[in-house]
Amino acid sequence: MPRPIGLKSTEQARRIAKRKLPNSVYNFIEGGTEEGRTARANSEGFGEIGFRPRIAHDHHARDLRTTVLGRELAMPVITTPAGFIRVAHPAGELAVARAAEAAGIAVGISILASVPIEQITAAASDVWFQLYMIGGRKGSEIAIERAKRAGCRVLIVTADLADNTGGNDRRPVPPPPGRVDLRTALRYAPEMVRKPVWAVNFLRGGFQLIAPNAPGQDGAPMAIAEGSAALREYPPTWDDIAWVRSRWDGPLVVKGVTCGEDARRAADIGADAVSVSNHGGNGLDGGPATIRALPEVVEAVGDRIEVLLDGGVRRGGDVVKAVALGARAVLIGRPYIWALAAGGESGVTELLALYRRNIDATLRLLACPSVEALDPSVLRMPRCGCDCK
């Protein structure tokens, strides 16, 4: 049985992950394009928003359930898709899927996952598959049909990473998996020697660094490095997203929206939801923090489609803030990868339980009976700095 690690906060999970992982692997997870302004702003934006707590109210049990794209979730949290997270822990996406299923929430899976999507859908009942247009429409059609056959419920078209070649010059990251020669291996060997437990566990998982869900030209799975380069080769246009809509008959999410105009465009072509996202700060550095962009997007689409938020959510209170501002649910990324690195499936299970407890405690102190009852009246919004009232 997996051993509990006693997580008390996402920051604790981050510290454990940093201690366990080689520096280059940890920095790869941290990411952040160029100077990392947007990555930092995602978290800082939540700190600008306060609460309006209420006292002397009846504190009966709160209802954390919500419905997202026609399916009830135990709380408004979803694990966002992330590519090849086996670098954090050999159990990778399967551990996350099992933890999400046990928590009663949906799990997002990247097309660059290290596990076949059929194994994920066997472990979880609400799987959201992330589509990059690898191989253009021809390759995408293969991926879409496979996701249908596997039983994925939701398709996420990611449109916020047309290019992120700016990189982050402040922190070294590992070489592209699958492109490791002797010289590169020797360069990174000191890191691996200092983290022998990670190295042994990673090698036990196999050194075949492939993306089994990414369709190669010959029908064979792509190497991770090949897939990582290919996903930037065909960034989706609005015509492409409309084409995807015509071939996917389930719920469709357009991920990467940060302005009202794009949100309305997504609604016009038949998307069922948009995800307010800047790719965790790994796209345009200087783009808006997700929580700052959320109100504009919510106002733009009204009740036409659902709005999700992905980026900077570090605690249950952040979930409450996003939902109060109109998000149907949030997607979390780095926190669950830190927890995975810290303790495998147990770490992710504990992290999701921590989010649940924190959401519940926040609702109690706000005297709010349920997630569904949240609205902006529970918040204290930052002043805009102008003379408006």
Q: DSSP string of 335-361?
A: HHHHHHHHHHHHHHHHHHHHHHHHHHH
Q: Work out the number of other CB atoms within 10 angstroms of the CB of residue 237.
A: 12
pLDDT at 215: 81
pLDDT of residue 386: 46
Please state, in angstroms and rounded to a whole number, the distance separating the CA atoms of residues 340 and 269: 37
Give the C-alpha separation, 256 to 284, whole Å. Answer: 11
Q: Could you tell me if 297 and 260 are in contact, meaning their C-beta atoms sit under 8 angstroms apart? A: yes
CATH number at residue 128: 3.20.20.70
Does 387 fall in a domain?
no
Q: Residue 81 corresponds to which tokens in the numbers above?
A: 């898709």
| Structure confidence at residue 187 (pLDDT) | 60
Supply the DSSP symbol for 248: -
Residue 185: both structure tokens together: 């291996």
In a domain, 388, yes or no: no
Instruction: Give Cβ neighbours of residue 277 (< 8 Å, ≥ 6 apart).
Output: 160, 255, 256, 257, 258, 290, 309, 310, 311, 331
pLDDT of residue 280: 86
Residues of the chain below pLDDT 70 = 1-2, 59, 162-192, 203-208, 218-219, 225, 384-389
Q: Running DSSP on this structure, what letter comes out for residue 234?
A: S
The CA angle 57-62-63, to the nearest 5 degrees, is 145
Number of domains in the chain: 1
Burial of 24 (0-12, 13-18, 19+ CB in 10 A): middle
Q: Are 94 and 102 spatial neighbours (Cβ–Cβ below 8 Å)?
A: no
Domain that holds residue 348: 10-378
Please give the single-letter amino acid code of residue 150.
Answer: A
Distances (CA, A) of 253 to 157, 193, 317: 6, 42, 25
Residue 100, in any domain of the structure: yes
What DSSP character marks residue 312?
-
- Specify the 3-state DSSP secondary structure of 214: strand
Q: Helix, strand, or coil here: 378?
A: helix
Residue 86's SS3 state is helix
Half-sphere exposure of 42 (CA within 13 A, CB side): 33
Active site residues: 279
- Reported as type and span, the H/E element at residue 94 is helix 92-103
In a domain, 4, yes or no: no
Nearest to 372 by CA among 359, 384, 353, 387: 359
Q: Do the domain assignments include residue 34?
A: yes
pLDDT at res. 314: 97
69's tokens? 């794209």
Phi-psi region of 211 (alpha: psi -120 to 50; beta: other; left: phi over 0): beta
155 in a domain, yes or no? Answer: yes
| 123 found inside a domain | yes
